[in-house]
Amino acid sequence: MAATADPYERALEEKTAELKACQKAHGLNSCLPCPELEACALHEAYIEAVHASMHKGATGGFEF
Identify the three-state secondary structure at position 58. Answer: coil
pLDDT tens, residue by residue, 7-25: 999 999 999 999 999 999 9
Return the closest-CA partner of residue 56 out of 22, 3, 5: 5
How is residue 38 annotated by DSSP?
Answer: G
Residue pLDDT, tens place only, 40-61: 999 999 999 998 888 876 666 5
- Residues 46 and 11 sit within 8 Å (Cβ to Cβ): no
pTM above 0.85, yes or no: no
DSSP type of residue 33: T
Q: Report which residue type is found at 35.
A: P
